[in-house]
């Protein structure tokens, strides 16, 4: 797993489905499976935004280096940095299994932490992807217009498809 960065790009959308499951979008599914070595999605609270982050298990190997780099930047800037607290935050993710179709059950704690309802918007962000309650995304300023527009379009398609069933 080590050595190769796994990159997440693109967008996806999921409605809450039967048996209280969401669906991990296809464009992220293979990368997560490859990164984790199995069908396990890592989900945790984003440290600044009102959303979740998703990634595969291989990213955990980079956490110590990330902490060292963040600490060096803080020291250069004359800011305090609590490496232990940052490690605590980074490692506070859930390992969530998903099936071959990408279906997974969102842990109850994450519903509360990101104010999740019955819709999820997924946005690739390089080494991870974000998972949003669309209403939280729509409430952000105009600098988020690309993601907001993609979310609205994908939501409309998924809702229309669900109504046909």
The crossing angle, in degrees rounded to 10, of helices 83-90 and 63-76 is: 140
Percent of the chain scored above 70 by pLDDT? 98
Look up residue 16 and give its two tokens. 């809450």
**How many beta carbons lie within 10 A of that of residue 50, not counting itself?**
15
44 strand-pairing partners: 53
pLDDT digits (tens, 9 = 90+) for 77-117: 999 999 999 999 999 999 999 999 999 999 999 999 999 99
96 strand-pairing partners: 41
104 strand-pairing partners: 22
**Residue 1 scores a pLDDT above 60:** no
| Segments making up each domain of the chain, as ranges | 11-164
d(CA 165, CA 162): 5
Q: How far is CA 159 from CA 11, 26, 119, 146, in A?
A: 16, 18, 10, 20
Look up residue 7 and give its two tokens. 């990159």
Average pLDDT over residues 50-73: 93
d(CA 57, CA 46): 16
Look up residue 142 and give its two tokens. 């105009």
**Residue 65 scores a pLDDT above 50:** yes
15 strand-pairing partners: 119
Look up residue 68 and give its two tokens. 């060292």
d(CA 40, CA 56): 7
d(CA 47, CA 5): 21
pLDDT digits (tens, 9 = 90+) for 125-152: 999 999 999 999 999 999 999 999 999 9
Distance between first and last Cα of the chain: 40
pLDDT band with cut points at 50, 70 and 90 for residue 3: low
**Residue 165 scores a pLDDT above 90:** no
Is domain 11-164 in CATH 3.10.20.30, yes or no?
A: no
pLDDT band with cut points at 50, 70 and 90 for residue 164: confident
d(CA 120, CA 138): 12
């Amino acid at each position: 797993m080590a050595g190769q960065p796994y990159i997440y790009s693109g967008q996806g959308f999921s409605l809450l489905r039967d048996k209280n499951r969401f669906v991990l979008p296809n464009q992220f599914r293979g990368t997560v499976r490859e990164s984790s070595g199995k069908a396990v999605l890592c989900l945790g609270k984003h440290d600044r935004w009102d959303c979740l982050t998703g990634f595969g298990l291989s990213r955990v190997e980079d956490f110590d280096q990330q902490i060292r780099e963040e600490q060096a930047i803080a020291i250069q800037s004359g800011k305090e940095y609590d490496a232990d607290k940052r490690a605590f935050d980074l490692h506070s993710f859930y390992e969530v299994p998903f099936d071959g179709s990408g279906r997974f059950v969102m842990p109850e704690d994450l519903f509360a932490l990101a104010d999740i309802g019955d819709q999820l918007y997924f946005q690739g962000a390089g080494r991870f992807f974000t998972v949003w309650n669309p209403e939280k995304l729509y409430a952000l300023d105009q600098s988020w217009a690309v993601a907001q527009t993609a979310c609205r379009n994908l939501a409309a398609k998924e809702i229309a498809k669900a109504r046909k069933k």
